[in-house]
Amino acid sequence: MSQSVSRALSILIALGESSQSLDELAVRLGVHKSTVLRLLQTMQADRFVVRDNAHRYSLGTRMFELASRALENRDVRTVARPHLSALGAATGQTVHLAAYESGDAVYIDKVDAEQAVRMYSRIGRPAPLHCTAVGKVLVAALPRGEWAAVAARLDYHPFTARTLRTPEQYLAELKLVAAQGFAEDHEEHESFVNCIGVGVRDGIGAVVAAVSVSVPDVLLDHDQVLALLPQLRATADAISTELGWDPGRDVTARKG
* Per-residue pLDDT, 225: 95
Instruction: Please answer whether residues 102 and 127 qualify as being in contact, where contact means their C-beta atoms are separated by less than 8 angstroms.
Output: no
- The topology under which CATH files domain 3-70 is Arc Repressor Mutant, subunit A (1.10.10)
Q: With contact defined as beta carbons under 8 Å apart, do 178 and 255 qualify?
A: yes
Lowest average pLDDT, out of 22-31, 165-174, 188-197, 243-252, goes to 243-252
Instruction: Give pLDDT tens digits for 11-52.
Output: 999 998 899 999 999 999 999 999 999 999 999 999 999 999
Domain 74-252 CATH superfamily:
GAF domain (3.30.450.40)
Looking at residue 3, what DSSP letter applies? H
Torsion angle of the four alpha carbons 35, 39, 44, 49, in this order, in degrees rounded to the nearest 10: -100
pLDDT digits (tens, 9 = 90+) for 110-141: 998 876 666 667 788 889 999 999 999 999 99
Paired sense of beta strands 20-21 and 56-59, if any:
antiparallel
pTM for the whole structure: 0.72
| Domain range annotation of the chain | 3-70, 74-252
